[in-house]
């Protein structure tokens, strides 16, 4: 018997508690149409990310939906080329272009009332602009992290992204407060974004080691090589936090007047295979022999 695999198998979709809260508010206040429009736009946006990721055969763990956006969790953790991840990230915002087309078509055919058209236009624009803000974990924040990763080590790029995100988030909130009062929904979004950034900051080292473990186990082909310069007494962590995406590393170890180098594979083997967590840079030379 043939078992047919569906062409597109959807991953588990999780509704964030904040969205349930909005749904209840919408039912109570009778703004159900508004919620349906927002939810549809967010789902189409996430489908953009999902289909782009699937086209590259990414492993997707789940999609979380929250108001004004969502997050697609994958099993890739920085092991894919930056250009690929950039494309998956922009595939979400790109969906809003054809949504504008649908709204225009519905207006042209006269199938939607003017109030629905106006609402759809307003939400399509605001969800698009909101997601483009350079704030983690929004798409703009992901682009910021990917661009930082092209210039800086993985861990530094993450730190830069979080610091910029928090500053920009607070500046945008203050600007809103200056021109208008902050509605409760916006306050909830700001709190949500700040909590996400706090979590990301606390998990910095865990995320770095997850990225390195992926690199160690999958050994991606990296055509460009760049050096990491360390002193003989530098710790493993001081070396590992200089690892970059899209770059293969040669580690140059300076010991007095002498200088030696080892390949990054020796360093990753020392850490993950031989559990040399307390080793110093000079110990890598011995392990390479």
Q: Which residue is nearest to Zn ion (CB)?
A: 92
Q: Which is nearer to Zn ion, 143 or 157 (CB)?
A: 143
Nearest approach, Cβ of residue 93 and Zn ion (Å): 7
Query: Binding string to Zn ion for residues 136 to 165, with x set by CB under 5 A, is what?
Result: ---x--------------------------
234 touching Zn ion, by CB under 5 A: no
Nearest approach, Cβ of residue 45 and Zn ion (Å): 5
Q: Which of 34, 46, 196, 218 is catalytic?
A: 46
Q: Which is nearer to Zn ion, 73 or 255 (CB)?
A: 73
Tell me how many residues contact Zn ion (CB under 5 A).
2
Q: Which is nearer to Zn ion, 78 or 92 (CB)?
A: 92
Positions 100 through 139 that interact with Zn ion (CB under 5 A): 139
Q: Which is nearer to Zn ion, 100 or 272 (CB)?
A: 100
Nearest approach, Cβ of residue 112 and Zn ion (Å): 25
Nearest approach, Cβ of residue 77 and Zn ion (Å): 18
CA distance 49 to 60: 11
**φ and ψ at residue 134, rounded to 5 degrees:** -75, 65
Question: What region does 113 belong to: left with phi over 0, alpha with psi -120 to 50, or beta?
Answer: beta
**φ and ψ at residue 94, rounded to 5 degrees:** -65, -25
Active site residue 46: yes
| Dihedral angle sign, alpha carbons of residues 238, 240, 246, 252 | positive
Q: Which range binds Zn ion by CB under 5 A, 86-94, 100-108, 212-220, 229-237?
A: 86-94
Q: Which is nearer to Zn ion, 89 or 148 (CB)?
A: 89
Nearest approach, Cβ of residue 42 and Zn ion (Å): 9
Nearest approach, Cβ of residue 139 and Zn ion (Å): 4
Q: Which range binds Zn ion by CB under 5 A, 89-97, 122-130, 176-184, 206-214?
A: 89-97
Using alpha carbons only, give the angle 277, 278, 281 rounded to the nearest 5 degrees: 95
Positions 45 through 74 that interact with Zn ion (CB under 5 A): none
- Binder among 41, 64, 92, 241 for Zn ion (CB under 5 A): 92
Q: Which of 36, 42, 38, 51 is nearest to 14 (CA)?
A: 42
Question: What region does 232 belong to: left with phi over 0, alpha with psi -120 to 50, or beta?
Answer: alpha
How are beta strands 248-255 and 225-231 bridged, if at all? parallel
Q: Which of 207, 272, 284, 275 is nearest to 239 (CA)?
A: 284
Q: Which is nearer to Zn ion, 106 or 132 (CB)?
A: 132
**Is 3 buried (19+), middle (13-18) or exposed (0-12) by CB count in 10 A?**
exposed
Q: Which of 228, 250, 255 is nearest to 239 (CA)?
A: 228
Query: Binding string to Zn ion for residues 214 to 233, with x set by CB under 5 A, is what?
Result: --------------------
**8 Å CB contact between 250 and 227:** yes
Give the count of beta carbons closer than 10 Å to the beta carbon of residue 251.
23
Residue numbers annotated as active site: 46
Kindly list the residues in this chain that would bind Zn ion in the complex (CB under 5 A): 92, 139
């Amino acid at each position: 018997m043939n078992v047919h695999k569906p062409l597109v198998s959807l991953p588990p979709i999780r509704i964030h508690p904040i969205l349930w809260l909005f749904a209840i508010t919408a039912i109570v206040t009778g703004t159900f149409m508004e919620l349906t429009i927002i939810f549809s736009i967010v789902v189409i946006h996430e489908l953009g990310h999902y289909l782009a990721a699937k086209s590259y055969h990414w492993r997707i763990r789940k999609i979380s939906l929250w108001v004004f956006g969502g997050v697609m969790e994958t099993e890739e953790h920085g092991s894919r080329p930056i250009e690929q991840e950039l494309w998956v990230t922009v595939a979400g915002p790109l969906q809003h272009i054809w949504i504008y087309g649908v709204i225009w078509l519905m207006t042209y055919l006269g199938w939607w009332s003017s109030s629905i058209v106006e609402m759809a236009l307003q939400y399509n624009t605001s969800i698009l602009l909101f997601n483009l803000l350079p704030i983690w974990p929004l798409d703009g924040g992901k682009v910021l992290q990917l661009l930082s990763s092209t210039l800086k080590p993985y861990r530094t790029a993450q730190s830069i992204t979080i610091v910029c995100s928090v500053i920009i988030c607070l500046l945008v909130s203050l600007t809103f407060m200056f021109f208008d009062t902050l509605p409760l929904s916006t306050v909830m979004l700001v709190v949500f974004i700040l909590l996400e950034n706090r979590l990301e900051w606390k998990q910095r080292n865990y995320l770095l080691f997850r990225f390195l473990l992926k690199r160690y186990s999958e050994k991606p082909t990296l055509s460009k090589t760049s050096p990491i310069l360390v002193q003989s007494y530098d710790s493993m962590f001081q070396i590992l936090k200089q690892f970059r995406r899209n770059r293969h590393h040669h580690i140059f170890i300076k010991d007095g007047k002498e200088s030696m180098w080892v390949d990054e594979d020796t360093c990753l083997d020392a850490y993950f295979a031989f559990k040399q967590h307390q080793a110093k840079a000079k110990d890598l030379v011995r392990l390479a022999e």
